[in-house]
Every structure is written in C-alpha cells, then in structure tokens.
Amino acid sequence: RLYQIPFEMPDCAGESETRTLHLVGDFSAPAEFFVTLGVFCFLYAMAALVLYLRFHSLYGENKKLPIADFCVTVCFAFFWLVAAAAWGKGLTDVKAATRPASLIAAMGVCQEEEVGCNAG
C-alpha cells in the first residue's frame, strides 16, 4: 500500500518549505495471497499429519483417502507456484515504483529546465 507512504519533496519557491508527496500503487494483494496460502498449507499439513499418525489404519484401509490427499497436495503445490510468482511480480512492481528515477519523475519541481534533481 504505497499510497499510504508520504515523503517530503523540496519546494523551490521557498528554500525551507517542503511539500508532501505520496507514492503510487497498492501491491499488497500478492503478498496477502502468498501468506494466506501459506497458512492454509500449514493447517492442511498439520491435519494430514494427525491423519497419518493417529488414524493410520483408516488411511490404509480407505482407497479414496490417499487419492484425495494426493489431489489436494497437487492443488496446493500449483497454487504455491502461482502465489510465489505473483509475490515476485508484486516485489518487482514495488521496486519499479520506488526507484529514484520514478520518484524524481513524479516530482513536479524536477520537471523545470533549470532544476537538476538526483537521488540523495
């Protein structure tokens, strides 16, 4: 949620005055998806562990239970791959939105001809 992060931008009209500029973008959805999926995977792994250890005979006698377990595990593996890719894309977008060249381009004061802006 970069739009919640303000930073001070110099105002060339008055040397001591600054204006507040807010970053642009909300890249929280991929991270939330990744964390939510991680929690569900952990809970499923704990439930499967209880099933394997406590109800081993039920797991061995029922032929549909191992197939269902395999299908759920494959689904979690696929969604984990998707979530990791989405999180990586979100991190790349945050990096692009916060690089110095993007911040300088967003500052109106840096667009004037006689003004030279650089990082730092």
Residue 113: helix, strand or coil by DSSP?
coil
**Residue 3, SS3 per DSSP:** helix
Q: Which long-range contacts (CB under 8 A, 24 or more apart) does 93-102 make?
A: 93/25, 93/27, 94/2, 94/25, 94/27, 97/2, 97/23, 97/24, 97/25, 97/27, 98/2, 98/23
Where do the structural domains in the chain lie, given as residue ranges?
34-90
Nearest Cα neighbor of 88 from 24, 33, 40 is 33
Confidence of residue 58 (pLDDT cuts 50, 70, 90): confident
CB 102, CB 23: distance < 8 Å: no
Are 83 and 37 within 8 A, CB to CB?
A: yes
Residue with more model confidence, 36 or 96: 36
pLDDT tens, residue by residue, 16-53:
667 777 677 778 888 899 999 999 999 999 999 998 89
Average pLDDT value for residue range 2-24: 68
Each residue's pLDDT tens digit, 65-91: 999 999 999 999 999 999 999 999 988
CA distance 77 to 59: 21
